[in-house]
């Protein structure tokens, strides 16, 4: 028999307790409850059949005509109707906004109530003494609304609560595993009712494990089952669930119509977190960020309703979602424009063993090239810096001869490569090439990572940056890498988008985008490790004006001071993001330690 329900109570060890099953009551340890034991001090009674099982006090009934007691859990029925209302929203700054809200649930379920029915059809109300009145839990609430869960204590809970970064283990209060939008709505209402912070998890690849909450005790709504990818071959608009992984998205769009969106390299990354906070990859200089292809999102907001966000509906929310999407609700579906997947992808790699002086010269040449119109939009380029060498890697969308002409002015500044390779591939093979592991499931590590976005490095900052690279990083003795992407500049697609069209992503004028990544493959990340990467970033930030640098939330660094992360990640967008947060989530329920704060 499976125990489907549980109720928390404060119990005295050894007291007589009853377990609630599908529809029956029975004493723990009694017939039909093999494996269950008496509760001890209010803790879980036992785990049975992979279901978390707790006990409640024996109910007392006021009925005198009860013959056989069958206590059922009833939940206020929900009427599912769809209405569309337009509600004026007045902000604190007296701006009146108009929000169109699609309401799916018109009746909000109330707390689970316990009633007792009898075989003689006499219906009586059951009550426990006030001291032992079951209070119910978030798990009860989800259960009463038929929201699937990974139950605490089960192997699936352990699996779903595991984040990509093993350095930051967090335990949610509950994990909802919805398969339908109404279940997401119900889960949000339960989280609000039980005053929990609510967090969506899509692919679970946040560097700070923000998809698990970034701290203990959240209601995690796992969107993994919202993973469909459907291309409308007439409009070339794709509808994608937030739980789809980048590898699945790329393959599905290609297979359904040879279409694509721009996105990052790792196939295991969830499209949900990726697109809501940026989404940079080898096509971004040519085709922008993943969020630049988003045209609409359906969002379950704090009152459990579904809001459509697009350029024409709730455009404030749409703006905020494109850069800070984890702070406003649970995105359940997204629509994207797509582009034709290019047939000819020139994939290249030139490897150099530079000394410090050559590295300094090359970095300066890179910056000059990125800021010139010599750098064609079709060229995407990254310095991949490791302990032993630098690889100049990327993709050119076009034919081989135009690629050679485009890159040769830059390569001429770099000296002779130790090795090189250039291949022309189709779109999917080029993605595979940079997946560094085929389109396969994710692997997790214990690591620390940081990012940096800079406009123009001053000569002094460049000196300090390269000196740290050669004098400190090369001798630190750990497995680090650092990437410098040609992100912006006059020919970049990213930089070409201006104003509200670009959403809340605030780094469009950044020439370089850096990622610093340091990991251990066994054991724990060393406590003195953080200073190494922080020191590298400080070489630039300590001598640059604040206006010339920022950080990328998709490479979240949980060690940033709480007073700083908002400005680091969102820069000029942050004040407006806070205003919109106050409209949509004034009580800061969609929270993580680095979420947008309401005003
Ligand atoms: C191995 C690896 C490779 C990477 N490569 C790249 C890359 O090439 N380019 C790049 O730009 N980034 C890259 N990233 C970073 C990645 O884009 C971000 O970490 C991204 O946020 C992960 O999304 P996720 O859905 O997998 O993570 P999650 O941890 O599930 O979510 C991340 C954040 O998004 C929120 N969120 C997720 N789903 C929803 C939703 N449905 N509604 C509302 N909020 C939601 C979460 O609450 C959380 O705050 C990489 C990360 C890893 C670990």
Ligand 1 shell residues, CB under 6 Å: 164, 199-207, 210-211, 223, 242, 264-266, 269-270, 272-274, 276-281, 325-326, 330-331, 554, 592
236 C-alpha to ligand 1 centroid (Å)? 25
Ligand 1: centre distance to CA 209 (Å): 9
What would the pLDDT profile of 516-558 be if each residue is shown by its tens digit?
998 876 778 888 788 999 999 999 988 876 557 899 999 999 9
Whose C-alpha lies nearest to ligand 1, atom 21? 273
The rounded Å distance from CA 555 to ligand 1 centre is: 9
**pLDDT tens digits along 364-383:** 999 999 999 999 999 999 99
What atom in ligand 1 is closest to the CA of residue 328?
43
Residue nearest to atom 3 of ligand 1 (CA): 266
Which residue in the block uniquely carries the two structure tokens 């604040």? 546
Name 245's Cβ contacts closer than 8 Å, sequence gap at least 6: 203, 227, 267, 268, 269, 270, 271
Please tell me the distance from the alpha carbon of residue 1 to that of residue 573, in angstroms, as a whole number. Answer: 54
Calculate how far, in angstroms, residue 246's C-alpha sits from the geometric centre of ligand 1: 10
Which atom of ligand 1 is the closest one to the Cα of 201?
A: 30
Please answer whether residues 198 and 188 qualify as being in contact, where contact means their C-beta atoms are separated by less than 8 angstroms.
yes
CA distance 427 to 261: 11
Closest atom, ligand 1, to C-alpha of 163? 29
Give the 3-state secondary structure of residue 580: helix
Domains present along the chain, CATH in parentheses: 142-222 (3.30.43.10), 229-340 (3.30.465.10), 345-584 (3.40.462.20)
Planar angle of CA 500, 502, 507, nearest 5 degrees: 120
How would you classify the pairing of strands 237-240 and 259-260?
unpaired
Give the bridge partners for 102, in sequence order.
84, 306
Q: Look up the pTM and report it.
A: 0.79
DSSP output for 461-526: HHHHHHHHHHHTGGGS-SEEEEEEEE--STT-HHHH--GGGGTT---TT-SEEEEEEEEESSSPPP
Closest approach atom of ligand 1 to CA 213:
47
Strand extents, DSSP E, 75-168: 80-90, 96-105, 113-118, 124-127, 149-150
CA 326 to ligand 1 center in whole angstroms: 10
Per-residue pLDDT of the chain (599 residues; tens, 9 = 90+): 223 223 322 222 333 333 333 222 233 322 222 233 333 333 333 322 222 233 333 333 333 222 222 222 222 222 222 233 333 332 222 223 333 333 333 222 222 222 222 222 222 222 333 333 336 899 999 999 999 999 999 999 999 999 888 889 999 999 999 999 999 999 999 999 999 999 999 999 999 999 999 999 999 999 999 999 999 999 999 999 999 999 999 999 999 999 999 999 989 899 999 999 999 999 999 999 999 999 999 999 999 999 999 999 999 999 999 999 999 999 999 999 999 999 999 999 999 999 999 999 999 999 999 999 999 999 999 999 999 999 999 999 999 999 999 999 999 999 999 999 999 999 999 998 888 655 544 445 566 778 888 888 889 999 999 999 999 999 888 889 999 999 999 999 999 999 999 999 999 999 999 999 988 767 788 887 889 999 999 999 888 765 578 999 999 999 999 999 999 999 999 999 999 999 999 999 999 999 999 99
In this structure, the residue with its CA closest to atom 36 of ligand 1 is 273
Pocket perturbation via mutation, ligand 1, pick of 181, 206, 261, 278 by most ligand atoms within 8 A of CB? 206
Taking the centre of ligand 1 as the mean of its atom positions, its distance from the CA of residue 269, in whole angstroms, is 6
The atom number, within ligand 1, closest to the CA of 211 reads 29
Q: Are 334 and 309 in contact (CB under 8 A)?
A: no
Phi and psi at residue 312, to the nearest 5°: -110, -15
Ligand 1 atom 17: residue of nearest CA:
274
Ligand 1 centroid from CA 248, angstroms: 15
Nearest ligand 1 atom to the CA of 556 is: 19
For a ligand 1 pocket test, name from 554, 555, 577 the mutation site with the most ligand atoms within 8 angstroms of its C-beta: 554
279 CA: nearest ligand 1 atom: 11
CA of 146 to the centre of ligand 1 (A): 28
Q: Ligand 1, atom 52: nearest CA belongs to which residue?
A: 205
Which residue, judged by its Cα, is nearest atom 19 of ligand 1? 206
* Beta carbons within 10 angstroms of residue 110's beta carbon: 10
Q: How far apart are CA 272 and CA 268, in angstroms?
A: 12
Ligand 1 pocket test, candidate residues 168, 215, 274, most atoms within 8 A of CB: 274
Work out whether strand 512-520 and strand 69-74 pair parallel, antiparallel, or are unpaired: unpaired
| All residues at 6 or more sequence positions from 186 whose CB lies less than 8 Å from its CB, including other chains | 105, 109, 142, 145, 146, 147, 304
Distance 474 CA to ligand 1 centre (A): 29
Ligand 1 atom with least separation from CA of 265: 8
Residue 166 buriedness (CB in 10 A; 0-12 / 13-18 / 19+): middle
Give me ligand 1 centre to Cα 568, in Å. Answer: 18
- Ligand 1: atom nearest CA of 290 is 11
Note the Cα 216 to chain centre separation in Å: 16
**Quick check: 479 and 473 in contact, CB under 8 A?**
no
Beta bridge pairs of residue 484? 383, 514
């Amino acid at each position: 028999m499976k125990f489907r329900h549980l109720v928390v109570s404060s119990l005295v060890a050894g007291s007589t307790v009853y377990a609630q099953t599908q529809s029956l009551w029975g004493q723990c340890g009694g017939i039909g409850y093999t494996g269950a034991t008496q509760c001890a001090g209010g803790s879980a009674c036992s785990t049975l059949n992979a279901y978390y099982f707790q006990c409640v006090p024996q109910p007392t009934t006021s009925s005198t005509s009860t013959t056989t007691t069958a206590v059922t859990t009833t939940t206020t029925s929900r009427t599912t109707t769809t209405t569309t209302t337009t509600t004026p929203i007045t902000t604190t700054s007296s701006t009146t906004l108009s929000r169109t809200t699609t309401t799916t649930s018109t009746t909000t379920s109330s707390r689970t109530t316990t009633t007792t029915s009898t075989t003689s059809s006499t219906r009586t109300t059951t009550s426990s003494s006030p001291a032992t009145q079951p209070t119910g839990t978030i798990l009860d609430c989800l259960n009463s609304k038929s929201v699937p869960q990974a139950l605490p204590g089960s192997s699936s809970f352990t699996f779903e609560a595991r984040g990509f970064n093993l350095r930051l283990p967090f335990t949610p209060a509950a994990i909802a595993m919805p398969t339908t939008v109404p279940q997401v709505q119900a889960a949000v209402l339960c989280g609000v009712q039980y005053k929990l912070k609510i967090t969506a998890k899509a692919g679970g690849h946040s560097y700070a494990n923000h998809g698990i909450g970034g701290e203990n005790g959240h209601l995690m709504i796992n969107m993994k089952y919202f993973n469909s990818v459907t291309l409308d071959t007439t409009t070339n608009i794709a509808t994608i669930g937030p739980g789809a992984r980048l590898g699945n998205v790329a393959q599905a769009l290609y297979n359904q119509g040879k279409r694509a969106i721009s996105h990052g390299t790792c196939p295991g990354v969830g499209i949900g977190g990726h697109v809501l906070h940026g989404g940079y990859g080898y096509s971004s200089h040519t085709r922008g960020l993943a969020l630049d292809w988003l045209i609409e999102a359906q969002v379950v907001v704090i009152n459990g309703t579904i809001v459509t966000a697009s350029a024409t509906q709730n455009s404030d929310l749409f703006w905020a979602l494109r850069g800070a999407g984890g702070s406003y609700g649970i995105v359940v579906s997204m629509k994207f424009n797509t582009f034709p997947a290019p047939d000819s992808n020139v994939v290249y790699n030139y490897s150099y063993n530079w000394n410090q002086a050559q590295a300094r010269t090359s970095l300066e040449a890179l910056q000059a090239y990125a800021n010139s119109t010599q750098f064609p939009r079709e060229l995407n380029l990254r310095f991949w810096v490791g302990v032993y060498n630098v690889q100049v890697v990327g993709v050119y969308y076009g034919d081989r001869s135009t690629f050679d002409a485009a890159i040769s002015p830059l390569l001429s500044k770099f000296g002779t490569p130790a090795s090189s390779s250039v291949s022309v591939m189709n779109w999917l093979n080029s993605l595979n090439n940079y997946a560094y592991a085929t389109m396969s499931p994710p692997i997790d590590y214990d690591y620390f990572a940081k990012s940096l976005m800079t406009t123009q490095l001053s000569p002094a900052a460049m000196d300090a940056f390269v000196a740290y690279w050669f004098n400190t990083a090369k001798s630190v003795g750990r497995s680090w890498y650092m990437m410098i992407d040609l992100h912006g500049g006059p020919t970049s697609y990213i930089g070409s988008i201006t104003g509200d069209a670009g959403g809340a992503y605030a780094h469009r004028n950044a020439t370089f985008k850096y990622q610093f990544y340091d990991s251990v493959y066994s054991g724990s990340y060393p406590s003195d490790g953080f200073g190494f990467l922080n020191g590298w970033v400080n070489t630039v930030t300590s001598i640059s004006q604040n206006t010339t640098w920022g950080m990328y939330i998709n490479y979240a660094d949980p060690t940033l001071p709480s007073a700083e992360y908002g400005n680091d990640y969102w820069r000029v967008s942050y004040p407006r993001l806070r205003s919109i947060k106050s409209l949509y989530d004034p009580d800061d329920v969609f929270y993580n330690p680095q979420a947008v704060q309401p005003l």
